Amino acid sequence: MSLLPIRLFPDPVLRVRCSEVTEFDESLRKLAGDMIETMHAAPGVGLAAPQVGVEKRLAVVDLSVGDDRSQVHVLVNPRVVRREGLVTEVEGCLSIPGINDKVDRPERVTVRAVDLEGKPLEIEGEGWLARALCHEIDHLDGVLFIDHLRGLRRERVRRQLRKLAAEYEDVRAGVGA
Q: Which residues bind Zn ion (CB under 5 A)?
A: 93
**CA-based angle 133:122:55, to the nearest 5?**
50
What are the contacts of 124-127 at 24+ separation with CB within 8 A?
Answer: 127/87
**Catalytic pick among 136, 155, 167, 169:** 136
Catalytic annotation present for 26: no
Nearer to Zn ion, 24 or 101 (CB): 101
The dihedral through the CA atoms of 168, 169, 172, 176 has a sign that is negative
Residue 93 or 114 having the CB closest to Zn ion: 93
Residue 10 preceded by cis peptide, ω within 30: yes
- Residue 96 · residue 9 · CB < 8 Å: yes
Which residue from 68, 72, 75, 165 is spatially nearest to 119, judged by alpha carbons? 75
Which residue from 20, 22, 58 is spatially nearest to 39, judged by alpha carbons? 58
Nearest to 94 by CA among 127, 118, 59: 59
Which residue's CB is nearer to Zn ion, number 60 or number 113? 60
Q: Which residue's CB atom is positioned nearest to Zn ion?
A: 93
User: From the CB of 34, what's the least distance to Zn ion, in Å?
Assistant: 17
Given the complex with Zn ion, which of 21 and 139 has the nearer CB atom?
139
The separation between CA 136 and the C-alpha centre of its own chain, rounded to angstroms, equals 3
Active site residues: 136
